[in-house]
Amino acid sequence: MAYTQEGIMAQIWIAFGQGAGAIRVSQEAALELQRWYYDAITTEVVDKRWKTDAVQVLDRIRAIGRLAALKAAHAGSTVIKPQDVYESASTVQDTSLTPLCPPEPPPLSLEWTRAEALPAGAPRPAASHH
């Protein structure tokens, strides 16, 4: 079976979850992971590089998941948030110093940095102005 951009992104999500362990990943955090990596899965990656680079890339993604889980737990949260993903991906990429890493995307918007885990269908709390 040939590799696809969607299939590789699915492998990235799975590797992140393996690293995150029992800490829940919010949908927004999963989408933040996609924001970092989906566009970096180019035709060259799909057709030529994934076969040889996948092991190294997925190990780094697992490290991002572990670090994001640690950040969430340290904050007393039961869920990984987009900011945990952003900070963890930045740290792992800076540490790995490899051409496998895509460029860092722009910082998160305020809406994503304040995202909290809510039950499905629950209304979002009103923004507080201090």
The per-residue pLDDT for range 100-109, each reduced to its tens digit, is 777 777 787 7
pLDDT of 2 over the 80 cut: yes
Average the pLDDT over each of 22-26, 65-69, 94-98 and give the range with the smallest value: 94-98
pLDDT at 34: 96
- The residue length of the chain stands at 130
Residue 87 sits at φ, ψ, to 5 deg, of -65, -40
Greater confidence, 98 or 32?
Answer: 32
Closest listed residue to residue 29, CA positions, set 73, 89, 92, 75: 89
Q: What percent of the chain has pLDDT over 90?
A: 70
pLDDT of the residue at 130: 41
Q: Which domains occur in the chain, in start order?
A: 5-113 (1.10.20)
Confidence of residue 110 (pLDDT cuts 50, 70, 90): low
Whole-number pLDDT of residue 4: 97
- What mean pLDDT is predicted for residues 49-56? 94
The band of 14, judged by pLDDT with boundaries at 50, 70 and 90, is very high
Mean pLDDT for 81-105 is 87
Q: Which of 29-38, 56-65, 92-101, 119-128 has the lowest mean pLDDT?
A: 119-128
Count of alpha carbons within 13 Å of 49, Cβ hemisphere only?
14
For 88, half-sphere exposure in the C-beta direction (CA atoms, 13 angstrom radius) is 25
DSSP the chain: ----HHHHHHHHHHHHHHHHTTSEE-HHHHHHHHHHHGGG--HHIIIIIHHHHHHHHHHHHHHHHHHHHHHHHHTT-SEE-HHHHHHHHHHHHHHH--TTSPPPPPPPPHHHHT-----TTPPPPPPP--
